[in-house]
Amino acid sequence: VSLSLMSMIVKDIVSGCPRNNFRQSKLTHLLQPALTGRCKLGLVFTLNPCSSRGATSSVQFAKNMMKMPDAKIVRNPMTMTEAQLLAASEQLMAKEAAVRVQLQSAEERQRVVEEENELLRRQLRETHAENVTVIE
């Protein structure tokens, strides 16, 4: 219902109707600043190719939104095929594997440094103990 009312209000705005009842639904009331140009509004429309039911009204609504005054329309269709998604997924998994190798290498270097650090501390304690006994 709210989307239908919003569609009617958008249609009225596009046709130049001076009065709109934004309080008819919570959605239109909340989006009034965006629909009247006082702030930015971004909408994404998607259609399921398997379901044509409602697609016509969704396309009409999208067309009306594109006719909104002072609207800056950015058309950036971002569609990926299943093969492209699989390829991108494989690339990400390869990057993850490389990062894991780097992490293991860094952890090994840290372990070596900590062992060297402990050895130096032991040597320092021994040297300190020898110096203390010589002074006494």
Give residue limits of the domains in the chain. Answer: 2-66, 80-136
Query: What are 31-62's pLDDT values in tens digits?
Result: 888 777 767 777 777 777 676 666 777 788 88
Q: How many helices (H) does the chain have, and how many strands (E)?
A: 5, 0
The answer on pLDDT for 73 being more than 60 is no
Q: How far is CA 84 from CA 80, 90, 98, 118, 135, in A?
A: 6, 10, 21, 51, 76
Q: What is the pTM of this model?
A: 0.43
CATH 1.20.58 fits 2-66, yes or no: yes
pLDDT at 10: 84
What is the share, in percent, of the chain residues with pLDDT greater than 90? 24
pLDDT of residue 117: 97
The first and second tokens of residue 105, run together, are 């290498």
Calculate the alpha carbon distances from 66 to 69, 94, 123 in Å.
Answer: 9, 41, 76
